[in-house]
Chain A
Amino acid sequence: MEEALQLIANGVVIGSVIAVAAVGLTLVFGILRLINFAHGDFLTLGAFAAVVGTGAGLPLYVAAIPAILVGAGVMGGLEKVLWGPMRRRGASTVNLLIISIGLALVLRYTLFWIFGSGVYRYGPISQRIDFGLFALTPQDVIIVVGSAAALFGVALMLQKTRIGKAMRALSDNKDLAEASGIDVNRVTMITWLIAGALTAYGGIMLGLQGRVFANMGWFLLLLIFAGVILGGIGSAYGAMIGSMIIGVTQELATHSAIGLPSDLKTGVAFLVLILVLLVRPQGIMGRKQAL
């Protein structure tokens, strides 16, 4: 039982990171129907941008600011030079998906090229704090609290702000939203900027767990996808729930009573995804599609 609680706590930590990244992915999907295979590498980009800052002697919470701006800037820039023009040329969903695979390779191996295959750290990891039922490092606590704050912010934006409402409307029914006078291009751009900022932030959270390396985002990407799909693609709240389920499941899979090697834990999370899709092809919060 003690072991299980500790594993659940670990799962919540990683689930928080996945959730932040997953919400960015799903917001973009909701509006553009684009599955972005480069999304994981944007996490890495954010994490390394912060490494540059901390390397120059800045404390992480200061270095995070330019890193988040870089994340938002690069995603927004790509909308301007790549995604927007491609959409206007009528590229199909699958064309865009394949472009994102190419983009992912370019981004990831450019980071490899610049930073090499080594591991970077923001700083030493502190001792675990015993919370009675489980123990977490102060970094873990920052990750959970920081992610919760970001997700709360997103939820607030979607519910309360004009732009959030416009994003929801656009994701619900594009034609209707367009007809009701929503500036689609502007909302799209803002969505990319928010997604970029969230993703860079998520990358920093991921790095805070201990290690920053060029493959980190790519390794997490399939778990992010799993969280997004499990919750129902395009649904921000679904992505949050799905990500937590994925995070906790993969940690619980390593419980000694189950006895699976830790190599396989992501495999178990993927398996859960496939089983859920068998029963509910549209995901937990997703809606049935009309013909």
Chain B
Amino acid sequence: MTSENGAANGFSNGIPILVAEDVRLSFGGVAAVDGATLSVEPAKITALIGPNGAGKTSFFNVVTGFYRPDGGDISFDGDRITGKPPHAIARRGLVRTFQLTKSLARMTVLDNMMLAAPNQTGEKIFTAWLAPWVIRKQENANREKALELLELFNLIDKKDDYAATLSGGQRKLLELARALMMEPRMILLDEPMAGVNPTLGARLLEHVGQLRDEGMTFVLVEHDMDVVMNVSEKVIVMANGRVITEGSPDEVRTNQEVIDAYLGAGGGAVEEAIDEVFERDRPDG
């Protein structure tokens, strides 16, 4: 019920859905992304890890069009998307969430969901005046879909509340549900577990796993190594704006380069920190 299903959805294994080649981005001479090259396979959960300042979020921002890269090439599902505006990339089915959730505070939860629905006729300025009946039909369909998703994500009781009143974890759930309204093919999750209580976090991961089984591709930036090791099929490690290694969780765990990267970034934070991060058995324990 796992990757075979992905193939059934039209993705053949081995052909990456997202390819980034030699992506570069700098701010005032400081390179945030310094020639990152990586690929993401469809219908899998890929984790992007690395010490603080490794360039993970900057990389996300480049891939999703929020920053224009200084160099390099990015293609999604065979089409070049380098330098395209964020909304155009999102419409192609490559959708992201944000590290600090961006729920639209003074809109209701339901409106947050409805806003995300793609191809809305009513979003053109004159149809609102000239063709209200067309809009009504579409709105009803979108509302139904939104309510279904809210039901699934246990947010249905909150549908008429302002998004600002949700807890941090509920906002993360709302952001994922909202992304799904867009019927994406791939979702980039930027620290989905940050600030989320364990119960909600578990539920969120459950949803992610289920969606993967249905053929959705995920890339997640995450600091909680438990999560990374448990849910992801592939781990890509970045340091200093470059990809230093990639592989299965087990391969990465024991990779010397990775350990060095964390060591280098942490200064004196040393072996213990690494042990803690990767939950390795210590000699004395």
Contact = CB atoms under 8 A, between A and B. Distances in A.
A87 interface: no
A128 interface: no
A287 B61 CA distance: 17
A134 B28 CA distance: 39
Q: How large is the interface on A (under 10, 10 to 19, 20 to 34, 35 or more residues)?
A: under 10
A268 B67 CA distance: 32
A271 to B, nearest CB: 27
B61 A291 contact: yes
A290 interface: yes
A291 B66 contact: yes
A160 interface: no
Interface in A252-291: 287-288, 290-291
Interface of A is mostly: loop
A232 to B, nearest CB: 11
A290 B28 CA distance: 11
Interface in B56-79: 57, 61, 66-67
9 contacts: A287-B27, A287-B28, A288-B27, A288-B28, A290-B27, A291-B57, A291-B61, A291-B66, A291-B67
Nearest to B26: A288
A5 to B, nearest CB: 36
Contacts of B28: 287-288
Contacts of B57: 291
A287 B57 CA distance: 19
Nearest to B28: A287
Interface string B76-88: 0000000000000
Nearest to A289: B27
Interface centre among A287, A288, A290, A291 (most CB of B within 10 A): A291
Contacts of A288: 27-28
B191 to A, nearest CB: 14
A81 to B, nearest CB: 30
A290 to B, nearest CB: 7
A34 to B, nearest CB: 22
B106 to A, nearest CB: 12
A291 B97 CA distance: 13
A287 B66 CA distance: 16
Contacts of A291: 57, 61, 66-67
A290 B57 CA distance: 11
B89 to A, nearest CB: 15
Nearest to B27: A288
